[in-house]
Amino acid sequence: MVDRSKSGHRQRLRERFLGGDEASRSDEALLELLLTYAIPRKDVQALAEKLIAEFGSLSGVLEAEADALCKIDGIKANTAVLIKLVDWVKAYQASRETESPHHAPSETTQLGLFDSAQGKFEAFTPPKKQKKEPPREKVRPRRGTDLFGKAVLKEAIDLLPGLPNTDSLEEVRKNLRGSLHYSAEQTRKRYANYITRRMFPDGYADRAMRLFAKHFRDSKHLREVCFYRFIKAEPLVEKVVTDLLYPSLGNGRLNRERIRNYLSARFPGSRSIKDSAQALVDAFVAGELAKADRIKISFGYREISIPAFAFIVHSEFSEPAMYDITKLETNHTIQAMLWNPDRIVPSLYELRNQGVISKISEIDNIRQFTTKWTLGQVVEHLVAGGT
């Protein structure tokens, strides 16, 4: 039953807030007002005071992990979600302010979301202002089937660390043509085109990939990232992993003839089945998903490379935001990496521990992670020794 002495209290809270009453700007008053929108028909003043006492300030309440909030008597999942939503919004607004220094913060931006003790927003390090995006070449869609005759993935892994410091694909292709160890000029030209199309699919040589390659040369991390971009460019790879390798994980091997038969059934009449089957095996070996002999390929679930995991997560979930963990676990491209699925969530927590992502929340059926950087910023963090 509603306490009659409090029946108009919520309305008075709103009126004082909208009227600019100085007392309505305290941590306790702002949190109390926020809680009224999640907890109906109950006096939440005492709960607001309890939360402030537990976490130290309004900013501390907003930044607390959702599971820690739910341990407070009176806080349920819906209330925790509202608090974390406000936390994300204030952090996002802080990043906007950092990107636009001439944009003056509005009064709404600062209402109780500013930590007066610290004198700054603290949810996460705001992204740096991004440079103007470089000119892109027009990306032409592939013609014909998804079959491809050459992988050239090993060459890509070997040569990417030595690329020039330029966004220009023409300059990158020129460098590759001079570096590929084939006598025929037409072969070097064709292979250089293969590498740039697969490793730089957006029409320019993005700095994130170039910087990652240079820093992680000759490493498992680079092989995994290159294989990831190969998968994105060649959808046939993901189909073969899903339809052939996954069902054979229990045996840990697959007869190479089954790959040829699979391609023949999908592309009847094609004359390039043998070459495509060989190219797929070459890609699996170069990416270290499998070992191969003349008869079979051998494979199994693999341990996750944390730098590569950071790169791929921020490629698949490219905007700083809150995401459902299930969408990460069921992402088909990530599954095609043959990473041990039991290590996906622990690796996500490792990214949080390393400061790469902002937060992870697992409460009841709500499982979310929050990213705070773009791919380029993550790679700069990795190169600086963050992971």
pLDDT in tens, 278-331: 999 999 999 999 999 999 999 999 999 999 999 999 999 999 999 999 999 999
What integer best gives the mean pLDDT of the chain?
A: 85
For residue 383, the Cα-to-chain-centroid distance in whole angstroms is 17
Among 246, 271, 296, identify where a domain stops. Answer: 296
Are 26 and 50 contained in the same domain?
yes
CA quadruple 225, 227, 305, 334: dihedral, nearest 10: 100
pLDDT of residue 93: 65
Q: In the chain, how many domains are there?
A: 3
User: Cβ contacts of residue 293 below 8 Å, gap of 6+?
Assistant: none
- Location of structure tokens 């990496």: 337
Share of the chain above pLDDT 90, in %: 60
Please compute Rg for the chain using Cα positions: 26
Which helix (H) or strand (E) segment is 254 a member of?
strand 253-255
Are 157 and 292 contained in the same domain?
yes
Strands 290-292, 296-299: pairing is antiparallel
Are 281 and 168 contained in the same domain?
yes
Task: Specify if 336 maps to a domain.
Answer: yes
| pLDDT, average across residues 32-58 | 86
Are 259 and 333 contained in the same domain?
no
For residue 220, the Cα-to-chain-centroid distance in whole angstroms is 19
For residue 315, the enclosing domain spans 306-386
Task: Specify if 333 maps to a domain.
Answer: yes
In a 3-state reduction of DSSP, which class is residue 81?
A: helix
User: Cβ contacts of residue 127 below 8 Å, gap of 6+?
Assistant: 95, 98, 99, 320, 372, 373, 374, 377
Among 56, 82, 110, identify where a domain stops. Answer: 110
| Structure confidence at residue 6 as a pLDDT band (50, 70, 90) | low
Q: Which tokens in the block code for residue 78?
A: 């819906």
| Structure confidence at residue 118 as a pLDDT band (50, 70, 90) | very low
Q: Which tokens in the block code for residue 250?
A: 């229990």
What span, in angstroms and rounded, lies between the C-alpha atoms of 279 and 274? Answer: 9
Return left, alpha or beta for 192; rule: phi > 0 is left, psi -120 to 50 is alpha, else beta. Answer: alpha
pLDDT of residue 168: 94
Are 105 and 173 contained in the same domain?
no
Q: Identify whether the C-beta of residue 126 lies closer than 8 Å to the C-beta of residue 258.
A: no
| pLDDT, average across residues 154-158 | 97
| Structure confidence at residue 119 as a pLDDT band (50, 70, 90) | very low
| Structure confidence at residue 64 as a pLDDT band (50, 70, 90) | confident
222-273: pLDDT as tens digits: 999 999 999 999 999 999 999 999 999 999 999 999 999 999 999 999 999 9
What span, in angstroms and rounded, lies between the C-alpha atoms of 340 and 344? Answer: 7
For residue 338, the Cα-to-chain-centroid distance in whole angstroms is 17
Q: Which tokens in the block code for residue 290?
A: 């499998």
Are 181 and 259 contained in the same domain?
yes
Are 42 and 85 contained in the same domain?
yes
Task: Specify if 95 maps to a domain.
Answer: yes
Among 47, 80, 110, identify where a domain stops. Answer: 110
Are 28 and 55 contained in the same domain?
yes
Which helix (H) or strand (E) segment is 323 a member of?
strand 322-324
Task: Specify if 256 maps to a domain.
Answer: yes
In a 3-state reduction of DSSP, which class is residue 373?
A: coil
Closest CA to 298 of 250, 241, 253, 240: 253
Task: Specify if 118 maps to a domain.
Answer: no
Determine the residue type at 305.
Answer: S
Are 174 and 205 contained in the same domain?
yes
Task: Specify if 123 maps to a domain.
Answer: no
Task: Specify if 260 maps to a domain.
Answer: yes
Are 319 and 338 contained in the same domain?
yes
196-235: pLDDT as tens digits: 999 999 999 999 999 999 999 999 999 999 999 999 999 9
Enumerate the β-bridge partners of residue 297.
254, 292
Whether 141 shows a pLDDT value over 90: the answer reads no
pLDDT of residue 319: 92
The secondary structure of residue 202, as a DSSP letter, is T
Angle in degrees, 0-180, between the axes of helices 306-316 and 344-353, rounded to the nearest 10: 100
What span, in angstroms and rounded, lies between the C-alpha atoms of 58 and 51? Answer: 8
Whether 357 shows a pLDDT value over 90: the answer reads yes
| pLDDT, average across residues 63-92 | 85
Are 172 and 257 contained in the same domain?
yes
Are 197 and 320 contained in the same domain?
no
More confident residue, 236 or 86: 236
Task: Specify if 133 maps to a domain.
Answer: no
